[in-house]
Structure 1
Amino acid sequence: MTAEQEQKQKDEEIDINRCNQLFGLVGKILIKSDTAKEERRQRGELFNVFRVCGVNHYETRHSAILAELLNPSGSHGQTDAFLSIFLEDTGLKDFGFNTSTAVVQTESSMANGRIDILINDNRGKIIIIENKIYAADQKEQLKRYAKFARDNYGDGNTRILYLTLNGRDASGQSGDGVEYITISYGDEILKWIRDCTVYCASKPIIRETLVQYANLIKELTNQSMDAKHVEELLKVMANHADEVAAMYNHFDEYREFVMNTYLKPQLEKVAKDLGLELECNWSAKQYTGFSLRKKEWQKCGILFQSQSTGYGNYIWGISCHRDSAKLDYGTLSCLQNSNTPWWQLGYSKLEYNMDVNTMRDIVNGKFIQYIKACVTDILGELGKLEAKDIQLP
């Protein structure tokens, strides 16, 4: 072995040792964090009525909660205090919006769509909130909002807030040329909920409800670890910056590895157990996803698919080629959204995005249990149709 080869082998051994050291340190932090979380659970601090009621990733349910808090006539009884705090925390304090006369609506209709949350001060100014958790932008969505606002309220009298988990921008086809403000659940909304909690410190029912909602937001935005453990983790990561960068830079390969090595065999077992056929497509250059179908189905299948090329924003339901089948059976009750030409029995948004947390739940088996429950629910409803001699094509 040459001196160069010996040095290369030595360098590789050092990298492996440092990686093992990183994993060991991170493992110790996670153990401490899990211990602290278990102690909180035993004290009852992890009870969360929002999670129990299934709020989680559904935009419409979050919109209803946010709108109720923002509403000066809301059941919270705090008049416009929460709305005023919201304007300050989202940078709209100087907008000149009259909070005392404001009216809040959800799913407000306009000529070519609906607005998630519309706040009207009845003095000529409005605030539009587009609430996105995992859903993709609709065609020219923010452009349509801007036109609606301009046509009905004139220039300069509207603020459009684009709310996401992490403060991402809208897609180009939706938001190019539109003035809008990005806000996130993880930053502005969480700060607002905390500030409202402080405001209601002497009102225990409101205060504790806000605490529970803040905890749900922290889970959604991966902030559930205690601050002291986060700080400890960040220091370890900084001390192993090369190793962290290497793992981050190979996330795409890691995702495909997990989906091929873990998810595909799990799906194959589910398909076998339920008597279904499986098809998978993990190509990031196409719409990714997988489908399960009965042998007798020629034109339909239970499809889990991304809404755009790549791995984000998955939806699921009964999919049919719009020109090859016509299903007039209405929307299945286990699906959240009404039927479309492609999803003729309705569809739902997947409560997972194909991110690093989903990869974790694929490996530990939680994700496949969720998928199996979805498939079982839809097969149960299809069984009721079959009992009426209604068969999918």
Structure 2
Amino acid sequence: MSDIKEICDFLKKYRQVKNKKLEEVCHLLKKFKKQKEEMKLRGFNDFNYIELLKGFDDENTHSKIIAEFLNPDGSHYQGKIFLENFFRTLDIPFNIDNWNVITERFVRNCVDKGQGRIDIYMTNGKKHIILENKIGAGDQEAQIFKYVECLYKENEDSLKPEDIFVLYLTKNKSFPSKYSLDNYEIKNGYLENNGEIKAKIKCISYDEIFKWMQENLKEVENITNLSEAIKQYIKVVKKILGEEENIMNLKDYLLKEEHREVLITLIENKNEFEKYVKNDEECQKIIEEEKLGEVLAKIIDEINYKVLDKLKNIPDLNIIIEKNENSKYIDKLCIENKKNNKLICPEWPYNFVSKYAFKELALEVLKNGENNIIEKIIKLVTIEQ
């Protein structure tokens, strides 16, 4: 009987502690909302028509905007001036004349790697530029490999390596993964297949897009609607780079060091928290307005990508991130030992099928730091020397 009472007392105390933590989450959300409203009253705002369409980090939207500016026949009616600025900014050694720009160019089974879609494809009939845009999406299988090989096949092998320029656009100038490169390797700015040079490649970041847009703005300062459109896009690019934010957002607020414990509680107990506040109308409204589920998913991805970027710099490790084309977030992580080609897709301690992918990985980082989880991952994959 005493054992049952002890268990009941323990569960009661546990519930009290848990409820106190959940109440702290609710209190913090209300505090955030109050500070945000105070900023609005002082005149701050985040209005941007581009974000109203799809969100500031939607890759398809960015590809369409970039392509429209690159297109000499685009609706800007400025001819090739933006294209010329682009070539100059990125030091692309091609003639500026007679370029066609295509978005979402499909590549269909021309090599034994399935079909794909080039985000932005440019050609003047002799030279070819492939721009692969990766804001948050992971690499698809053999993407870079099949895009380049298909160009050779379509042109009946008449192309030379210097005729193809691959631009790999990411937030932080990351390299494509082995999963995307397949048989290719990157050496001295070129894609090679078993020692044979296939194309030139340049990894670029949205910082180059920002610089390019600044140059474009100088060209059209007296054209009101066009200059305003460029200014709006520059703001979106700065937000991708983490440099633009007028009104405080919930993601950055939760990621503050002083809110770490509350964030851990929220990630661990999101569903339970939503049930706990079902009678708190104010807190429920904040959850809906701020899209708490999406915010947590972005936080988890952001934390994980920082770890994965560090793992990429470890010799003999190749990090492969997979994403479903219909998903914004990580679906699967694999780690390859390049010395023996051993490919491991760990299932523990990471929850790959959770709605919030890699929740355990992010929690480990929040609780114990990046270095701790990196050591655990290396032990997990058991890299053979």
TM-score normalized with structure 2 length: 0.51
Distance 1:223 1:150, change over 3 A: same
Find the counterpart in structure 2 of residue 114 from structure 1.
117
Distance 1:49 1:305, change over 3 A: closer
Report the Cα offset of residue 90 of structure 1. 1.1
Report the Cα offset of residue 47 of structure 1. 3.0
Find the counterpart in structure 2 of residue 266 from structure 1.
270
Structure 1: 5+ residue runs without aligned partners? 1-33, 227-250, 275-279, 286-302, 311-341, 360-393
Find the counterpart in structure 1 of residue 201 from structure 2.
180
Report the Cα offset of residue 58 of structure 1. 1.2
Match of 1:162, SS state, is strand
> Distance in 1 between the 2:234 and 2:214 partners?
7
Q: What is the 5 A alignment of 1:103-142?
A: 103-111=100-108, 112-122=115-125, 124-142=126-144
Report the Cα offset of residue 194 of structure 1. 0.7
Report the Cα offset of residue 202 of structure 1. 1.5
Match of 1:180, SS state, is strand
Counterpart AA for 1:189 = I
* Counterpart selection for 1:164 from 170, 192, 198: 170
Find the counterpart in structure 2 of residue 309 from structure 1.
333
Distance 1:52 1:43, change over 3 A: same
Counterpart AA for 1:308 = K
Are the aligned partners of 2:167 and 2:204 in contact in 1 as well (CA < 8 Å)? yes
Find the counterpart in structure 2 of residue 91 from structure 1.
91
> Distance in 1 between the 2:218 and 2:84 partners?
14
Counterpart AA for 2:66 = L
1:213 equivalenced with 2:215 (yes/no): no
Find the counterpart in structure 1 of residue 54 from structure 2.
54
Match of 2:173, SS state, is coil
Counterpart AA for 1:198 = K
> Distance in 2 between the 1:126 and 1:349 partners?
39
Find the counterpart in structure 2 of residue 70 from structure 1.
70
Distance 1:305 1:209, change over 3 A: closer
Q: Name the Cα RMSD after superposition.
A: 4.3
TM-score normalized with structure 1 length: 0.51
* Sequence identity percentage: 27
Distance 1:210 1:349, change over 3 A: farther
1:203 equivalenced with 2:203 (yes/no): no
Report the Cα offset of residue 148 of structure 1. 1.7
Find the counterpart in structure 2 of residue 289 from structure 1.
none
Distance 1:43 1:205, change over 3 A: farther
Q: What is the 5 A alignment of 1:244-283?
A: 260-270=264-274
Structure 2: 5+ residue runs without aligned partners? 1-34, 109-114, 186-190, 192-199, 247-254, 279-283, 285-295, 305-326, 335-351, 367-385
Distance 1:116 1:195, change over 3 A: same
Find the counterpart in structure 2 of residue 13 from structure 1.
none
Report the Cα offset of residue 166 of structure 1. 1.4
Distance 1:160 1:201, change over 3 A: same
Report the Cα offset of residue 306 of structure 1. 2.6
CA deviation profile, 1:12-52 (whole Å, cap 9, x unmatched): xxxxxxxxxxxxxxxxxxxxxx99x96998387x5311122
Report the Cα offset of residue 71 of structure 1. 0.5
Are the aligned partners of 2:136 and 2:329 in contact in 1 as well (CA < 8 Å)? no
Match of 1:224, SS state, is coil
> Distance in 2 between the 1:191 and 1:163 partners?
14
> Distance in 1 between the 2:85 and 2:170 partners?
19
Q: What is the 5 A alignment of 1:266-345?
A: 266-270=270-274, 306-309=330-333
> Distance in 1 between the 2:240 and 2:153 partners?
36
> Distance in 2 between the 1:83 and 1:349 partners?
40
